[in-house]
């Protein structure tokens, strides 16, 4: 068994016009962008699954185009979380999880369940929702992450409930949403949203140093655990540079 957790670092998606000619080499065919990105980053958060249903063949293609050790975090379809009563989401959850995610196999990272900013913490409702999230998908183990965006989730009762169900809460640096850190979570999931367009690396060097040191401490501490770090929103055009600078601090070198 490894004595350290793994730190996975990436961005949201890979089809983004401003990255062409900056992150992606000029003239790189769009069909090769995932291949290129997956050999420089170690993870990608897929946001398209929030809006559309993908076919099993698409997940299988992503699996085959990416190197060993690469992972995809998948945002759950909005039909699962954009609803008045989360406890009624069983059919939508089953439909989403049954769309072919298991084709990713070992490259399936955490499933991200993003709640509406207006969804306040209701212990009974959230307990009903978390009970609907399965631990496995066929032979593939599942890891669940909740992005809660209403300040009422700062209630200590929320983290206690999430831990009881083996679920993790997103930690973000966004000033718009609650910044919830859980030192006892089974893994860490960071969505960093404050990249600045005037900085080539998106974040000040000292901020990247601090975030990287924190991720390393998490993965190498008394209880070594995995960490997932995604540069999302903010100045999105700077996201790949921020992720690459973060990986450089971890000693990661791109592969061919």
- pLDDT, one tens digit per residue, over 174-229 is 999 999 999 999 999 999 999 999 999 999 999 999 999 999 999 998 899 999 99
Cβ-in-10-Å burial (0-12, 13-18, 19+) of 63 comes to middle
Say whether 39 sits in a helix, a strand or coil. Answer: coil
State the CB neighbour count (10 A cutoff) for residue 113.
Answer: 24
User: Which of 111, 113, 112, 117 is CA-nearest to residue 178?
Assistant: 117
Q: Does residue 95 fall inside a structural domain?
A: yes
Q: Does residue 255 fall inside a structural domain?
A: no
Q: Which residues contact 233 (CB under 8 A, 6 or more apart)?
A: 12, 174, 193, 195
User: Sorting pLDDT into bands at 50, 70 and 90, what band is 253?
Assistant: confident
- Percentage of the residues of the chain whose pLDDT score is greater than 70: 98
Q: Does residue 102 fall inside a structural domain?
A: yes
Q: Does residue 125 fall inside a structural domain?
A: yes
- What is the overall mean pLDDT for the chain? 96
State the CB neighbour count (10 A cutoff) for residue 83.
Answer: 16
State the CB neighbour count (10 A cutoff) for residue 204.
Answer: 12
User: Which of 253, 252, 255, 254 is CA-nearest to residue 6?
Assistant: 252
Q: Which residues contact 94 (CB under 8 A, 6 or more apart)?
A: none
Number of domains in the chain: 1
Q: Does residue 256 fall inside a structural domain?
A: no
Q: What is the mean pLDDT of residues 90-103?
A: 98
In the structure encoding, which two tokens stand for residue 187, read together?
Answer: 């893994």
- Whether residue 114 is predicted with pLDDT greater than 80 in this model: the reply is yes
State the CB neighbour count (10 A cutoff) for residue 39.
Answer: 14
Helix (H) or strand (E) holding 244: helix 239-249
User: Which of 160, 169, 217 is CA-nearest to residue 190?
Assistant: 169
Q: Does residue 221 fall inside a structural domain?
A: yes
User: Which of 255, 192, 179, 177 is CA-nearest to residue 227?
Assistant: 192
Q: Does residue 185 fall inside a structural domain?
A: yes
Contact (CB, 8 A) for 235 and 195: yes
Q: Note down the domain range covering 159.
A: 7-249
Give me the pLDDT at residue 256, please. Answer: 65
CATH number at residue 198: 3.20.20.410
Give me the pLDDT at residue 234, please. Answer: 87
Find residue 201's DSSP bridge partners.
none
CA–CA dist 177, 150 (Å, integer)? 7
């Amino acid at each position: 068994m490894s004595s350290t957790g793994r730190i996975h670092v990436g961005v949201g998606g890979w089809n983004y016009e401003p990255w062409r000619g900056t992150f992606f080499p000029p003239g790189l065919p769009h069909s090769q962008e995932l291949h290129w990105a997956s050999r420089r980053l170690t993870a990608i958060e897929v946001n398209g699954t929030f809006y559309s249903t993908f076919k099993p063949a698409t997940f299988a293609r992503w699996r085959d185009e990416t190197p060993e050790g690469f992972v995809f975090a998948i945002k759950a379809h909005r039909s699962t979380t954009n609803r008045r009563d989360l406890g009624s989401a069983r059919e939508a959850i089953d439909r989403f999880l049954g769309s072919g995610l298991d084709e990713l196999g070992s490259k399936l990272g955490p499933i991200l369940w993003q709640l509406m900013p207006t969804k306040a913490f209701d212990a009974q409702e959230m307990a009903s929702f978390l009970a609907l999230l399965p631990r496995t998908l066929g032979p593939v183990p599942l890891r669940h992450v909740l992005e809660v965006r209403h300040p009422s989730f700062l209630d200590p009762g929320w983290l206690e409930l999430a831990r009881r169900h083996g679920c993790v809460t997103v930690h973000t640096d966004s000033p718009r949403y609650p910044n919830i850190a859980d030192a006892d979570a089974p893994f860490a999931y960071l969505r960093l949203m404050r990249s600045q367009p005037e900085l080539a690396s998106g974040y000040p060097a000292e901020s990247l140093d601090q975030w990287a040191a924190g991720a390393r401490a998490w993965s190498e501490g008394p209880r070594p655990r995995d960490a997932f770090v995604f540069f999302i929103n903010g100045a999105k055009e700077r996201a790949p540079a921020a992720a690459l600078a973060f990986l450089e601090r971890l000693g990661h070198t791109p592969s061919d």
